[in-house]
Every structure is written in structure tokens, then in C-alpha cells.
Amino acid sequence: MMDQEINEDSGGESSILVWLTGITFFAAMAAIFLFVPTEKTEGPIQRIMYFHIPSAWLSFFAFFIVFVSSILFLWKKEREWDIYANASAEIGVIFCSLVLITGPIWAKPIWGTWWVWDARLTSTLILWLIYVAYLMLRAQTDAGSMRARYAAVLGIVGFLNIPFIHFSVLWWRTFHPQPKVISSEGFGKGMDPSMLATLGVSLGAFTLLYFLLMGQRIRQEKLKDEIDRLKREKLFSS
């Protein structure tokens, strides 16, 4: 019964999502490399922004899902919320890693150095370390409600770093560029409209990718649960 549900989850909806994600990514790549004008001062290297910002958005969104799912798990004690938190944390770490890789690649030709210990960069690294610790906690401790509870607490505490990351460039003088999409001038006022549109398509593609990856990770966790359940049944029957 459970197995049937797991297989049903990966049916037609998933293939529509695969196609939609593929088409949006294709549109994003065409916009990044063919449509959007080259920025005057930075040159072609500025195009990294169209990967870097969506990767950051996706990781923040993923950690927000961890935060909400963790609260709901502690409140309702339902395994479903623990599955969502675990799945989302892994995706968040992958994309936070891409942020920490693409940022220095942009910084080297622009700042002349790969890394500076400013507030934005350091707080992003701390965020990454917190969620790596979250995944290690889950991997190193035995499955059960205590593991889920500890992980939920860490998932909630880790998310509190994200507002700090967002406002760090406003609170301190940092090397990192000031926000241009949501700025004091208004939404997207600090950007060329074609750049804003390209960034929007790229953000859409990365968001669709998140849901696609989440579907796969949730299915994986449910398969693991089903295997554990059958193993227990087999043990008790023999």
C-alpha cells in the first residue's frame, strides 16, 4: 500500500515538472548568454550574478522550509515534517556550497582576492557550517524521535542567521555589493529592466529545480521508511 503511494508520487506530475524546469533553465541560459547586455564596469564576469543570486535564493528558501518543517515537527510530532526538513536541508547545503564557490570566482577578478572576511561572506559561511553540522548530526546518530528533535532544534536555530546575512551589507561597511533587487529605492529600481527580467527567469528556473529535487528526496526518505518497516516486520515474524 505504502509502496504503491511512493510510486504514485513519482508519476505524471513529476514529468511535467521535469519538462517545465528544463524549459525554464533553457530560457534562463539563453537570456544570460544571448539576451542580457554586458555590464559596463565589470564586463562578462557580472553574468555570474545570474547563477549566484538564484543559488543564494534557493538555499535561503530551502532553509526556510527546514525552519517551518522543524517547528511543525516539534509541534505535531509527525514524521512527515521531519522528512521535509531533512530533504530541504540537503538541497540547501548543495546550493549554499554553490554560492560559496561562485562568489569567490566573481570576487577574484573584481576585488583582486578570492575571499575577504566581511560580514556577508563570513555569515554565509557560518550558515553553511550550521547546516553541514545538521546533516552530520542526522548521519551520525541513530534514527528515532530524539535525532529528529535535535535536528529540528538545530534547523530552527540555523535559520535565525538568514536575516542577519540579508541585513549585514546594510548594517556594516562590507565589500559585498549592496542589494539591487530589493533596495531602498524600491523593487528592482537599481537594475536595468532586461537584467531584472533575466534574473527573474533564472530565479524561476532554480525554484522549479528545488521542487523537483524535493520530490526526489522525499520519495527517497519514504522508501527508506518502507524498507525499515518491512525489516522490522520480518524480524518480528521470524
Partner 1 sequence: MDNFGFLFAANAFVWGGIIYYVYTLKQRNRELEKDLALLKEAIGKESR
Please report how close the Cβ of residue 25 comes to partner 1 at its closest, in angstroms. 9
What residues make contact with partner 1 under the rule CB under 8 A? 3, 42-45, 47-48, 51-52, 55, 94, 97-98, 101-102, 105-106, 108-109, 209, 213, 216-217, 219-220, 223-224, 226-227, 230-231, 233-234, 237-238
| 186 vs 236 by CB, closer to partner 1 | 236
Task: Compute the residue count for the chain.
Answer: 238
Tally of CA atoms within 13 A in the half-sphere of 89 that contains its CB: 31
Please report how close the Cβ of residue 142 comes to partner 1 at its closest, in angstroms. 19
Whole-number Cα distances in Å, 225 to 89, 209, 222: 18, 25, 5
User: Other C-beta atoms within 10 Å of 37: how many?
Assistant: 9
| Helices 193-237, 2-9: inter-axial angle, 10-degree rounding | 160
| 85 vs 205 by CB, closer to partner 1 | 205
| 43 vs 163 by CB, closer to partner 1 | 43
Please report how close the Cβ of residue 98 comes to partner 1 at its closest, in angstroms. 5
Q: Which helix (DSSP H) or strand (DSSP E) does residue 9 occupy? A: helix 2-9
Please report how close the Cβ of residue 9 comes to partner 1 at its closest, in angstroms. 12
